[in-house]
Structure 1
Amino acid sequence: MRIWASVLHWGKPEDTWAAVASLRASERPPDGILVIDNAAEKALDPLRAREAGVELHRECANLGFAGGHNRAIVHALDRGADAVLLLNNDATLAPRALGFLERALEEDPSIGILAPCVRDASPPHRIQSAGIRLHIGSGRMRLRHHGREALPPGPEIEDVDAVSGAAILVTRAAIERVGLLRPEYFAYFEEVDWCLRARAAGLRVALHRGAEARHRARAVRGGEGAARTAYYATRNHIRCLDRNAPRGPVQRAIRAAGVAALNLLFALRGPERGALLAAVREGIRDARRRVFGPHPDHPGARFAPPLPEGSAPRVAAVVLAWNRLSDTLKCLESLAAAKTPGLEVILVDNASREPVASAVRERFPNVRVIVNAENLGYAGGNNVGLRHALALEADYVFVLNNDAVVAPDAIDELVRLLEHDTAVAAVGARVMQYEVPDRMYGAVGTLAYNPRLIHLEGLHADDLEPFSR
């Protein structure tokens, strides 16, 4: 069996090098070690990486736990890995652990995900997690045997609901069956989601009691880091349950309320209650509105990696206008400031009474203006613009209301996500109120979509001539 290891660097370089050293000191060392520098403030030394015999990849942005490890997983599978070990950079693996895990996988191919017992790095090395128990109905989650010094008697390989992401071995078969980690979580619960998907696919998720890892996790007591953790933990806990164990509206609301209550109680015990409570409330709100990915205030965080050098997909923006000339001009000004190279902007004037078309042609000569002879409504008007975008052979189409403005890098962020995950057909942006920029309006209103995955119905090419000029 060929096993590759992924170490995600974020934080102190000495922690990452300690994690790598533990892998190299294994009685059964990995066949390859990939270190993903997740745009950490303290970058890793490439020379030291070469001397350590590891492949170092530096990202241009913080892609989160899932995005960073996914980069390594793809590299490992391309190199023929039969299994991939994910190891936190603040964790170390015991010398015999990887050998134990490998033998268990070879003896039982039904195991898709296998993890060691995770202990505190500091004496007396109490147990942090011997797997995870998750009650689907209530959403209650517990780290098994947390705080104990010894495991109770039991089988060497023990089935669990999920395992800690501090150290986790995943087979190629499991990845091919259930897919990569979901980057929408960004931080926390992505490994729980992975385990639940594996179990739903008929694979075993298990703990190996003889294998150990030690984790130097530091409790975040206060400040911005604690609030951010509370936000992700609340939001993603609800999201993970909704994705993997859907319930009816009433049951889902009761379960989400239970998760929210647990996180609110945790926040009340913290040193900065106000900030923690606000973060939990924001997490509840975003889970309800299905807003995911990195928090907009998370420094350096991105949903997807940058596009490869020289890659420039064709992107068109469609703006549907019906009157509101002043708003339309502001919308087009924001698109003119967009960082998207070669952006084609198409304005569809849906039979406005105001002189929208003439004003746009005068002020924005590069914008393609289409005037409908009658108001076709939202769908019909946008379909006209979408057909023209496809005629321009656009790879991606961005649809924007004429009473909205777009941030300069927003379209690039959406395109990056669509390029990164070809299974995603459409992606929306977080929409904030124009008058109160800190207040969310909704999670809909703008849309970028991949034409290869969406079939348009409505107006056809032959229908355009009677309605447009």
Structure 2
Amino acid sequence: MDLSIIIVNYCTYELTKQAIKSIISKDHPFQYEIYLVDNASRDGSLEKLQKDFAREEETGLIKFIASTRNNGFAHANNLALKECSARHVLLLNSDTVILNNSLTKCMDYMGVDSSIGALGCKVILPDGSLDKACRRSFPTFSVSFYRMTGLSRLFPKSKRFGKYNLTYLDENETYEVDSLVGAFMLVRSDAIHEVGLLDEQFFMYGEDIDWCYRIKSSGWKIMYYSGAEIIHYKGGSNNTRDKSRLTTEFYRSMYIFYNKHYRDDYLFIITGITYMGIWGICSMKQILNRLKNII
């Protein structure tokens, strides 16, 4: 098998169906399979998807995995990763649509350079703008500081201040980066075997940056490839009205990542400032969310 595609569904029936159709509606010059992992949906979406794609399930094109508990995005993907045996694996969000022959282009590009461990494409939001998360630098202290203080927004074309989302680089070019977004991440299985599965400490944010960090640290390239495009209906897969939970998980992922990869590299005072920054901003956003709810 050339490619295993993993899609996690959590109460996103229409979006997930659309994502699957954007794959199987096209002819691909390689063998592929789709793993649809349902993360304990409560809306009957799993049953509806099984009915819609019964023929594909019968032929083995689509394999369904039903998780009994929602233990997060990383855990759900790992359920499928443990069963995959293809040479490449694609993590694909349920709120995405693959455009034209982008999947074939990405597979071809991976075949050109065997040193590429993970590849991401040009991710477009519904309004036509670039999803900036599709090409990022690792969140070192300085990179995060420029981001949190707003300097990255004030000087997006600065190589120093715009490093978080690489806004100083042309989105229509192809180059090596630090990190990709988990909405579309094509990973070589050899790299996965070397670095291991996704870290399940991360519930729904940060697992993609952590994976890229481990892959790059092992000597593999992380590539942003602008020759392929998808649409990302961003936020559609975060099917929850609990903004407080989303905010907490977002900043908790920052804390986990820093502790795991950077804490031993910085002085104690830098670590203290980092912790205060993470939880201080998290607390302020929680207060703002509550005020909005009251209003």
TM exceeds 0.5? yes
Q: In 1, Cα distance between the equivalents of 2:6 and 2:140?
A: 30
Q: In 2, Cα distance between the equivalents of 1:260 and 1:274?
A: 20
Q: In 2, Cα distance between the equivalents of 1:216 and 1:30?
A: 27
Q: Are 1:152 and 2:149 matched, yes or no?
A: no
1:53-110: per-residue Cα shift (whole Å, max 9, x none)? 4111111111210010011111112xxx001101111111123211121112111111
Q: Which residue of 1 aligns with 2:273?
A: 254
Percent of residue pairs bearing the same amino acid type: 23
SS in 2 for 1:106: helix
1:268-317: per-residue Cα shift (whole Å, max 9, x none)? 6x442499xxxxxxxxxxxxxxxxxxxxxxxxxxxxxxxxxxxxxxxxxx
Q: Are 1:59 and 2:67 matched, yes or no?
A: yes
For residue 113 of structure 1, the aligned residue among 114, 118, 122 is 118
| Shift, 1:164, TM fit | 0.8
Q: In 1, Cα distance between the equivalents of 2:11 and 2:233?
A: 12
Aligned residues of 2:16 and 2:95 also touching (Cα < 8 A): yes
Provide the TM-score with structure 2 as the length reference: 0.80
Aligned residues of 2:248 and 2:282 also touching (Cα < 8 A): no
SS in 1 for 2:73: helix
Counterpart residue type for residue 74 of structure 2: A
| Shift, 1:155, TM fit | 3.8
Q: Which residue of 1 aligns with 2:6?
A: 6
**Runs of 4+ with >6 A deviation:** none
Q: Which residue of 2 aligns with 1:19?
A: 19
Q: In 1, Cα distance between the equivalents of 2:188 and 2:230?
A: 19
Q: In 2, Cα distance between the equivalents of 1:224 and 1:59?
A: 21
Aligned counterparts, 1:202-217, within 5 A: 202-217=219-234
Relative to structure 1, the CA distance from residue 231 to residue 94 in structure 2 (aligned partners, 3 Å threshold; closer, same or farther) is: same
| Shift, 1:118, TM fit | 1.3
Q: Which residue of 2 aligns with 1:88?
A: 93
Q: In 2, Cα distance between the equivalents of 1:132 and 1:164?
A: 8
Counterpart residue type for residue 126 of structure 1: S
Q: Which residue of 2 aligns with 1:42?
A: 43
Counterpart residue type for residue 2 of structure 2: R
Q: In 2, Cα distance between the equivalents of 1:234 and 1:24?
A: 36
Counterpart residue type for residue 90 of structure 1: D
Aligned residues of 1:197 and 1:244 also touching (Cα < 8 A): no
1:356-404: per-residue Cα shift (whole Å, max 9, x none)? xxxxxxxxxxxxxxxxxxxxxxxxxxxxxxxxxxxxxxxxxxxxxxxxx
Q: In 1, Cα distance between the equivalents of 2:116 and 2:216?
A: 10
Deviates more, 1:7-16 or 1:50-59: 50-59
Q: Which has the higher helix share?
A: 2
Relative to structure 1, the CA distance from residue 27 to residue 92 in structure 2 (aligned partners, 3 Å threshold; closer, same or farther) is: same
Q: Which residue of 1 aligns with 2:235?
A: 218
SS in 2 for 1:89: coil
SS in 1 for 2:276: helix
Relative to structure 1, the CA distance from residue 54 to residue 219 in structure 2 (aligned partners, 3 Å threshold; closer, same or farther) is: closer
SS in 2 for 1:36: strand
Counterpart residue type for residue 277 of structure 2: G
Q: In 2, Cα distance between the equivalents of 1:106 and 1:246?
A: 37
Deviates more, 1:241-250 or 1:107-116: 241-250
Aligned counterparts, 1:35-434, within 5 A: 35-43=36-44, 44-45=46-47, 46-52=50-56, 53-77=61-85, 81-120=86-125, 122=126, 124-129=127-132, 130-138=134-142, 140=144, 142-145=164-167, 152=170, 155-156=173-174, 158-218=175-235, 225-247=242-264, 248-264=267-283, 266-267=285-286, 270-273=288-291
Counterpart residue type for residue 65 of structure 2: H
SS in 2 for 1:63: coil
Aligned residues of 1:23 and 1:30 also touching (Cα < 8 A): no
1:230-281: per-residue Cα shift (whole Å, max 9, x none)? 111111111112212233432222222233344445446x442499xxxxxx
Aligned residues of 2:122 and 2:171 also touching (Cα < 8 A): no
The two structures, once aligned, show a CA RMSD in angstroms of: 2.7
Q: In 1, Cα distance between the equivalents of 2:42 and 2:241?
A: 17
Aligned residues of 1:139 and 1:258 also touching (Cα < 8 A): no
Q: In 2, Cα distance between the equivalents of 1:188 and 1:38?
A: 16
Q: Which residue of 2 aligns with 1:278?
A: none
Aligned residues of 1:25 and 1:95 also touching (Cα < 8 A): no
Deviates more, 1:107-116 or 1:42-51: 42-51
Number of equivalenced pairs = 263
Q: In 2, Cα distance between the equivalents of 1:143 and 1:273?
A: 30
Provide the TM-score with structure 1 as the length reference: 0.52
SS in 2 for 1:76: coil
SS in 2 for 1:180: coil
Tell me: higher relative CO, structure 1 or 2? Use CA pairs within 8 A at least 6 residues apart: 2
Aligned residues of 2:8 and 2:39 also touching (Cα < 8 A): yes
Counterpart residue type for residue 180 of structure 1: L
Q: In 1, Cα distance between the equivalents of 2:214 and 2:5?
A: 22
Counterpart residue type for residue 41 of structure 2: A
Aligned residues of 2:120 and 2:224 also touching (Cα < 8 A): yes
For the pair shown, the structure with the greater C-alpha radius of gyration is 1
Aligned residues of 2:7 and 2:91 also touching (Cα < 8 A): yes
Aligned residues of 1:131 and 1:161 also touching (Cα < 8 A): yes
Q: Which residue of 2 aligns with 1:301?
A: none
Uncovered stretches (5+) of structure 2, i.e. residues with no partner: 148-163
Counterpart residue type for residue 25 of structure 2: A
